[in-house]
Structure 1
């Protein structure tokens, strides 16, 4: 009696299950509209036609006619090839070359594709001269187009020895046979049997679909997506797939095409219920629904064959690819991990690394290899130093150096996380590496972070002070020569030369100790650095009533800017003078702090400067030499003026000005002795170092 009752209940459940299944999936037969594929002789090709049809690579000759046995035209194959590569968007607006022959024979729908194929280098050489778009495509021609489309010419041409078994290909050129060798090696095409390739036979539309399926495998076609099944709900008609590190949920089209790949690359029709959890799949999305799904061939066992174990991870080594698990019964077991091992917490993918050591987990294993790690949710509080926040991926996570263990630990961030920093509400992006944190973990995810900001000290020299922005900026060159710029906190504390000072008391070149908090300068201790500059005044400009700017040539011939303030002590002939008494060509000695002159002393006599360089140009009509001058630091172009009072010397001769062009020519090495007058360098002596006549 009981057995009959259980049979009745089981029968009712089965009927209910298939009712739900057919409610969501009214038919599991082919969604292809082509009636001429019903012929069993095309069973081998129908899966490839179905896949390429869903991918938008092929279409029918009529609404319900595919014509699988018909030969494919050359222009048709080129269009399909570009679509298989996933490059349809690149053909828009492409034009055939104006001198391209027989354009009238190319169908309008193919012209942009052929124009793009010429640009991409698929159509070259004799095919440009005579494309023959309406002719049937030969099998060897498909080989050439595919190699060029996939950019494999270089690899093919590098083949030195051919090992083709086909006896009917020796009328092909050696280059074409290299292409064929590579096509066969990559299993994109094969022979009709072991001894025959039939290179001059037409390729049919059915054969083209299979070949294009192989091309897709070597392309970057983004319309076909690879992932791993995480969950399949037949009753609700949806599927969850791990794509990269993100699990995505899709609805299944009511006429979804489902296949599995065998070890030879053939596609076999299956049903949705045949798909397994953790199976790798290729799938195609149409109108936000999956219209095609294909189980990729693998030797891995599926969910029903997996071993599941629970326990605590005792050790994990990525370099040696192993994981050691202490099981719930106390036994210790070792397993293999690799790049295919995925780790989850609360259905979020997290990195597989040493941070998992000590975690309670459930692992799924096949043949000793870990396929999946599920981290058990925890409720605890972690104190330590924040090492990093990763918020640009999903899920976001933080890394904390645990103050109790000293180990770096990774935790997923909850979508509703509460963050407090320095006693105030904050955003997760306000946290900085080095911050002291207390993280509250609920069910394995961080729900609350209380943080205190880190502080650091930099020793260096002020490079620039910028008051142009709302918040002042100071650039500091640290002891390692690194230039760093910081905002200045509004409550900054400034001490200079041991005295409490203001921000505007700081000068460029001051030696400083800077305390940084929250990436802002909160404290500066500065020491003045003074230096002596000797040179000749080039020009003076009075920028305001209180400040003047002076440009001088120093002893190395370099231009130096100096700021004169009302506090600058200016002396000439042992008497104080004003900035307005300074004139171009005055010889001075200045004591400066940063750019600000503390004192300026004027000399009545001007010392001569000696420069060495090479003549680049001579303007004899205006008596100017353009010379390339080399100093200790740089090489620069200078304008040298000479005249009737300039002493000209070459070797041991004194040269008259009238013979200047005979003894000074472009490219000669020279020494110039002179001084700056009125902003111009005037030569008293020119010595040509080239002694040959």
Structure 2
């Protein structure tokens, strides 16, 4: 991110998106330079109609982010121009000190701007990638900035353009979504997805409506919270209470417990999660609002997740439940899994009905009688001897086992589960009963399933 304050890049880039949703108003924009504007905390035109923005206006004016006009007025309903929006963003980022070092190129000099210092702001905005050089040609920076355009500036300022690019084909949930330019859909998506902006009560986004000074004051006020180091805390999670919505953090100097806002965002490895996805021992950075409630959590380092490794023969693959069950027995690595049947054709004999076919059972089979029509595991080896009494491949049985609950381990898979069969990436559907599998899991969710197909059956 092109930030000018000393704040972690990824942390701030994600956190800044958790900001206030702006209402939609409209009026004409002013063209006075910052030098002509008045820095004041009270304005006679910030009346009851703008009560929702009053505190933000006063704070941002006192900090010099947004300034008033001569005569004690703020003009809260006036539109914000592109130039003004850019300047406000640069001020909140703390970049104004860099103005004297920027170079104004010939393309920027050709732009018609209302005052000389504005050229330095534009040059700095280009340097920070808030505006691209190719966009300056024929671009009226004095025109009101529309809502979708403000979304673009903010996303770029956060260095989140690549994420916006990935979502340019999203279907946005607004009645007027078709009014959003195709090349702006991703920016609006990011802003909406992360809480920066949203539609109105009628389900419209009003992308082409201009944003007002009152709205920008609130937006800048909320952004300023995230840049302030006193509103950040870094530590290790000691406790999480999902019922009370609290989180306890510890670092080298103190242990503190914070309330967590219901819709606080949790950011892990570039994706967005909820409080329940955090683990005790995770190292995090949090952002607090003015009441010291947690509004944003970023995991900077995951705790070592407690995992287990289980090995055994696959005895069930349930595609509907997305589960896999293993027969865990240290004595055997290979076996045949199927339902025991009796075949009276050409002489009574036992067969094992498996997913790979039927196998005639010979050898140690005297004790099988009580388990006909049950699923069992047969241990032994395939033989090539032919029999005039029985047809089909034969297994010389050395032992067998019933599938009892205490010998079965079941795991579930999700979209992150990795399945490897004979060294190749595969899907759950590629696993067959009787395969030998090693499963790494957290609780009952498989993280990785590595399968070896039986050497005897691989080429049959």
Give the alignment's TM-score, normalised by structure 2.
0.42
Higher relative contact order (CA 8 A, sep 6+): 2
Larger radius of gyration between Structure 1 and Structure 2: 1
Considering fraction of residues, name the structure with more strand. 1
